[in-house]
Amino acid sequence: MKYALAFENYSLGYNRSPALMNLQTEIPKGSLTAVVGPNGAGKSTLFKGVIGELTPLSGQMSFGEIGGKDIAYMPQQSEVDRSFPISVYEMVAMGLWKEIGAYGAVGLKHHNRIAEALSAVGLDGFEKRIIGSLSGGQVQRTLFARLLLQDSPIVLLDEPFNAIDAGTTADLIELVKRWHSEGRTILAVLHDTEAVRLHFPRTLLLARELVAHGPTKDVLTAENQFRARQMCEACSGASDMCSRHVA
């Protein structure tokens, strides 16, 4: 199977302090993968490395048949500034940046696509609503609509179902499955292991380094999860020792 992303002794961190160490694995093209692990395991850090927000401390990452600009990334909702006076329409239109640039005009064909994206996530009639007036689930639907317009072969979702209602979660999971059926490569940081088992065929388990990666039924074992917790606790209590692990 061809890979979409490959990591070779890949380490990331902040201020030279490692948060993810010596990752060695490949993400198959067209796969639907949950990224799991205890708090502080390096899950969100991995995504920041993939989108180029963090420079690796060591090792390298390579893309398969695409370039780094062909990645759609949805951050955690807590990173969205809901106090900024932007409308739902304007936020979704940001998904067109690859086509029209930062200062390009939104034409009729773009307007139609924005309307279709809003309809696809159940936000018909919300175009003029200010982001700060929305519920958490409505904000998440808006972010998914923006991803729809990006139309990227690789999609990174950082805690896409956190703190939203069950109905919104079910709707958005169906949208993720649709993307997967279209051949896109999807990685999602998740905490709900039951949802992972139900909906994600593959799992990447991290604990500041790789614990296991492969079919979910083989990765999400009690033994692997216990080992991941132990590894994170050991690193939290011995940061100097963890630093020496970085090649």
Q: Would you tell me the crossing angle of helices 166-181 and 136-150 to the nearest 10 degrees?
A: 10
Determine how many CB atoms are found less than 10 A away from the CB of residue 186: 24
Tokens of 174: 């169906």
Radius of gyration of the chain (CA): 19
pTM over 0.85: yes
- Summarised one tens digit per residue, pLDDT across range 110-160 is 899 999 999 999 999 999 999 999 999 999 999 999 999 999 999 999 999
Angstrom distance (rounded) from CA 44 to CA 12: 11
Specify the fold of 3-244: Rossmann fold (3.40.50)
pLDDT of residue 106: 72
Break the chain into its structural domains and give their ranges. 3-244
